[in-house]
């Protein structure tokens, strides 16, 4: 069993933003081609703890280097007030030869970067040479959105950011200066200022229920609705909607799920990003109408990055290999069967 920790994962991924973008794009294409298996994620919730949850995302990603596994990610929003990260995650990868678990990888960086890359791919599809972008909700996710938008959109030179916590916003701006040194990051006085400044906006708050319409955005804005629960039903229905997977995103009381419940259907979803990346959706943007990208977050994206991390770790000798984690041939393994003495056989039969 190979174990790769947080710092090692970060070091392996740093400096490879272009590769991450392509890995995520390839995973989307494979998913659109039907070369994945993606059961609905499992939400573990707790009595009297509505905000906290742990989500299991099992997945299989096909292609030339098929991989299977599961991400187990906890979201405890209250952590932020104590100076720790809202989300923590790990990924188990299983061998496609015999199904045995072969790698255990810390996944908070993987989860954040695949989300940022996903949003940046959508931004690249719907914006043309943007000068700047607005970001609302300033945690690790929007930092990665900014990172990958800068990598995907070389014209990006400015960002106006807002958070309910002014100190958090200022700390975000300072950190962003080292993550995306070519982008000038300024703190907005209010959310309306961040929403209206540019034609590209990213929402990544921890809101559990819709609270925002899009009236503050430009009429032709591209909105990266990463948080999934910020927008009102009216805002969703008034926009052209792009998702990663319609069946996945219309559940768990996301803004799109609420829109489905309101309308009784999913006709408001215009296209899925995998089809757009393959060039086969037939989607056309309507002038003067906002586009909203709402990615549920597919486990196949996590597997694509985790597989890459696992392979790089093997080449560079990174991580810890634990021998004897799994049963195997040798003196310590229990035999698959044994010859019992007659009394033992009789006792076992009686117990059954």
pLDDT, position 30: 98
Contact between residue 159 and residue 183 where contact means Cβ atoms under 8 Å apart: yes
pLDDT, position 315: 96
pLDDT, position 152: 98
pLDDT, position 332: 54
CATH 3.40.50.880, applies to 128-298: no
Spans of all domains in the chain: 2-109+300-321, 128-298
pLDDT, position 48: 83
pLDDT, position 335: 47
Side-chain half-sphere exposure of 328, counting CA atoms within 13 A: 8
Which two three-digit tokens encode residue 122?
Answer: 């959508």
Question: Coil, strand or helix: which one is 88?
Answer: strand
| Tens-binned pLDDT, residue by residue, of the chain (352 aa) | 999 999 999 999 999 999 999 999 999 999 999 999 999 989 999 998 888 999 999 999 999 999 999 999 998 988 888 888 888 999 999 999 999 999 999 999 999 999 999 999 999 999 999 999 999 999 999 999 999 999 999 999 999 999 999 999 999 999 999 999 999 999 999 999 999 999 999 999 988 899 999 999 999 999 999 999 999 999 999 999 999 999 999 998 999 999 999 999 999 999 999 999 999 888 999 999 999 999 999 999 999 999 999 999 999 999 999 998 888 765 555 544 444 444 444 333 333 3
pLDDT, position 351: 35
Report the C-alpha gap between 7 and 9 in whole angstroms: 5
What value does the CA radius of gyration of the chain take, rounded to a whole number of Å? 23
- CATH number corresponding to 2-109+300-321: 3.30.1780.10
Query: Does this chain's domain 2-109+300-321 share its CATH topology with 128-298?
Result: no
Helix ranges (H only) for the chain are 6-13, 17-32, 108-126, 140-152, 166-179, 191-196, 233-237, 246-249, 255-263, 273-278, 299-316, 342-351
Find residue 55's DSSP bridge partners: 43, 73
């Amino acid at each position: 069993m190979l174990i790769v920790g947080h710092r090692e994962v970060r070091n392996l991924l740093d400096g490879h933003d272009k590769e991450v973008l392509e890995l995520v794009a390839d995973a989307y294409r494979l998913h659109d081609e039907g070369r994945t298996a993606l059961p609905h994620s499992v939400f573990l919730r707790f009595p009297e703890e509505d905000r906290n949850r742990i989500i299991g995302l099992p997945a299989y990603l096909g292609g030339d280097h098929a991989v299977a596994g599961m991400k187990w990610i906890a979201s405890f929003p209250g952590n932020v007030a104590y100076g720790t990260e809202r989300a923590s995650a790990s990924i188990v990868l299983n061998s496609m030869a015999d199904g045995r678990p072969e790698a255990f990888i810390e996944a908070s960086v993987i989860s954040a970067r695949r989300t940022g890359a996903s949003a940046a791919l959508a931004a690249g599809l719907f914006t043309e040479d943007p000068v700047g972008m607005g970001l609302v909700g300033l945690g690790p996710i929007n930092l990665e959105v900014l990172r990958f938008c800068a990598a995907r959109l070389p014209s990006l030179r400015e960002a106006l950011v807002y958070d309910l916590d002014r100190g958090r916003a200022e700390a975000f701006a300072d950190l962003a200066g080292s993550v995306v040194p070519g982008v000038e990051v300024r703190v907005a006085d209010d959310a309306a200022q961040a929403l209206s400044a540019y034609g590209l906006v990213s929402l990544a708050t921890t809101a559990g229920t819709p609270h925002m319409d899009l009236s503050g955005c430009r009429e032709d804005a591209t909105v990266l609705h990463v948080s999934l629960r910020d927008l009102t039903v009216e805002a969703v229905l008034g926009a052209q909607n792009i998702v990663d997977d319609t069946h996945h995103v219309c559940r768990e009381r996301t803004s799109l799920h609420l829109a489905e419940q309101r309308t009784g259907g999913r006709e408001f979803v215009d296209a899925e990003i995998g089809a757009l990346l393959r060039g086969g959706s037939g989607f056309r943007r309507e002038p003067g109408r906002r586009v909203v990208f709402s990615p549920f977050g597919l486990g196949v994206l996590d597997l694509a990055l985790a597989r890459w991390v696992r392979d790089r770790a093997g080449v560079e000798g990174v991580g810890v290999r634990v021998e004897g984690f799994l049963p195997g041939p040798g003196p310590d393994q229990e035999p698959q069967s044994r010859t019992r003495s007659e009394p033992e056989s009789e006792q076992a039969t009686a117990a059954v």
